[in-house]
Chains A and B, each alone.
Chain A
Amino acid sequence: MSRLIALAAIGLGLVGCQGLILDPAAEEGRSADREADVADPLTVCESFDVGDLGMRRLTRVEYDHTVRDLLGAAARPGTTLSEDGSAGPFASNSRIKPSETVVDQYRLAAERLAHEVDLSSLLSCDAAAPSCARAFVTRFGRRAFRRPLESAEIDRYVEVFELGATAAGASPEDGARLVVEAMLQSPYFLYLVEVGGEEGEQAIVPLTQHELAARLSYFLWSSMPDAELDAAADAGELATLEALDAQVERMLADDRAADMLDSFHRQWLDTARLDREEKDEALYPTYDDALVRSMWDETRAFVSYVLRSDARFETLLTASYTLGDASMAALYGAGHGGGEGVRRIELDPRQRAGLLTQAAFLTSHSTSTDSSFITRGLFVRERLLCQTVPDPPPDAADNPPDLSETDAPRKEQWSRHLIADECRGCHTMIDPPGFAFEHYDAVGAWREQVGGWDVDPTGELVGAGDADGSFRDALELVRTLAQSQDVQRCYALQWTRFGLAREPAEQDACSVAHVRDAFLESGGDIRELIKAVIRTDAFRFRRAAREGSSS
Chain B
Amino acid sequence: MKRFTRRRLLQALGAGTAALPLVPLLEREVEAATGDKRIIFFFTPNGLYRPGYDPSGEGRSFTIDPDRSLGPLIPYRDDMLVLQGLDNEAWFRDPHRPPDHGFRLTLLTGDASKFLYVRDSGANFNTIGNISIDQFIARELAAGTPYESLLLGVMSGGFATHRKLFARGSEDAVPVIDDPRQLHTMLFTDAGLDLEQLERVAARRRSVIDVVRGDLTAVEARVGANDREKIEAHLDAIRAIELRLDAASCAPVDLVDANAYPERGTLMMDMLVAALACDLTRVAVLNWGSAGDTRFPWLDANCDWHALAHHSRSAREQAGWRDQSELYAGATRVDQWHAAQMAYLLDELGERGIRNDTIVIWLTDQGQGSTADGVSTSSGSHDRRNLPVTIVGSGGGYFDTGRLIHYRSRPLNDLYVSLCHAMGLEHIRSFGLPEISDGPLPDLTG
Contact = CB atoms under 8 A, between A and B. Distances in A.
A404 interface: yes
A182 B378 CA distance: 57
B117 to A, nearest CB: 7
Interface in B172-204: 172, 174-175, 177, 179, 181-182, 185-186, 189, 196, 200, 203-204
Interface stretch (B7-15, B303-311, B404-412, B414-422): B303-311
Question: Among the interface residues B120, B158, B225, B313, which one has the most CB atoms of the partner chain A within 10 A?
Answer: B120
A278 B182 contact: no
Interface string B204-235: 11011001101110010011111101110110
A6 B117 CA distance: 11
A167 B204 contact: yes
A17 to B, nearest CB: 13
B157 A276 contact: yes
Nearest to B149: A100
B254 interface: no
Contacts of B225: 548-549, 551
A178 B381 contact: no
Contact of B224 (A7, A156, A399, A545): A545
A270 interface: yes
Nearest to A5: B118
Contacts of A188: 215, 219
Contacts of B444: none
B92 to A, nearest CB: 9
Contact of B318 (A104, A368, A547): A368
B125 A391 contact: yes
Contacts of B196: 168
A303 B244 CA distance: 48
Nearest to A102: B175
Contact of A399 (B216, B229, B234, B307): B307
A408 to B, nearest CB: 12
B100 A398 contact: yes
B378 to A, nearest CB: 4
B208 A185 contact: yes
A42 to B, nearest CB: 12
A388 B310 CA distance: 28
A83 to B, nearest CB: 7
Given A98-B233, A187-B215, A369 B318 contact: yes
Interface in A500-515: 503
Nearest to A404: B313
Given A163-B207, A399-B379, A391 B175 contact: no
A4 B100 contact: no
B204 A164 contact: yes
B295 interface: yes
Nearest to B382: A398
A404 B313 CA distance: 9
Contacts of A182: 207-208, 211-212
Interface in A512-551: 543, 545-551
Contact of B211 (A101, A156, A545): A156
Given A80-B182, A551-B226, A187 B237 contact: no
A44 interface: no
Interface in B154-177: 157-158, 163, 170, 172, 174-175, 177
Question: Among the interface residues B177, B207, B306, which one has the most CB atoms of the partner chain A within 10 A?
Answer: B207
A1 interface: yes
Interface in A1-59: 1, 4, 7-8, 52, 54-55, 57
B208 A8 contact: no
Contacts of A101: 151, 174-175, 177
Contacts of A160: 207-208, 211
A543 B304 contact: no
Question: Among the interface residues A102, A103, A169, which one has the most CB atoms of the partner chain B within 10 A?
Answer: A103
Question: Among the interface residues A85, A398, A543, which one has the most CB atoms of the partner chain B within 10 A?
Answer: A398
B377 interface: yes
Contacts of A445: none
A276 B159 CA distance: 12
Interface residues on B, range: 35 or more
Given A98-B234, A195-B223, A398-B381, A383 B214 contact: no
A395 B371 CA distance: 11
B310 A181 contact: no
Interface in B117-144: 117-121, 124-125
Given A394-B99, A397-B381, A402 B314 contact: yes
A401 B204 contact: no
Contacts of A107: 205, 208, 241
B312 A83 contact: no
A97 B230 contact: yes
Interface string B378-413: 111110000000000000000000000000000000
A403 B239 CA distance: 55
Contacts of B163: 83
Given A86-B124, A369-B317, A167 B203 contact: yes
Nearest to B91: A394
Contact of B175 (A99, A378, A547): A99
Contacts of B185: 108
A392 interface: yes
B26 interface: no
A98 B100 CA distance: 28
B101 interface: yes
A186 interface: yes
A548 B241 CA distance: 30
A88 interface: yes
B223 A104 contact: no
Contacts of A402: 312-314, 377, 379
B253 interface: no
A103 B234 contact: yes
A392 B377 contact: no
B100 A54 contact: no
Interface in A105-164: 105, 107-108, 110, 153, 156-157, 159-160, 163-164
A54 B226 contact: yes
A193 interface: yes
B115 interface: yes
Nearest to B313: A402
A330 interface: no
Contacts of A80: 179, 181-182
A346 to B, nearest CB: 33
B236 interface: yes
Interface string A366-394: 01110000000010001100001001111
Nearest to B122: A270
B175 A83 contact: yes
A241 interface: no
B352 interface: no
The 7 A-B residue pairs whose C-beta atoms are closest, nearest first, are A548-B224, A549-B225, A103-B237, A97-B233, A82-B175, A195-B222, A100-B237
7 contacts: A97-B172, A98-B230, A107-B208, A187-B215, A382-B120, A382-B121, A401-B378
Interface of A: 1, 4, 7-8, 52, 54-55, 57, 80, 82-83, 85-86, 88-89, 96-105, 107-108, 110, 153, 156-157, 159-160, 163-164, 167-169, 178, 181-182, 185-188, 191, 193, 195, 270, 276, 278, 280, 367-369, 378, 382-383, 388, 391-399, 401-402, 404-405, 417, 503, 543, 545-551
Given A96-B172, A97-B170, 8 more contacts: A8-B119, A101-B177, A164-B207, A168-B196, A191-B219, A368-B304, A396-B381, A549-B225
Interface of B: 97-101, 115-121, 124-125, 151, 157-158, 163, 170, 172, 174-175, 177, 179, 181-182, 185-186, 189, 196, 200, 203-205, 207-208, 211-212, 214-216, 219, 222-227, 229-231, 233-234, 236-238, 240-241, 293, 295, 304, 306-307, 310, 312-314, 317-318, 377-382
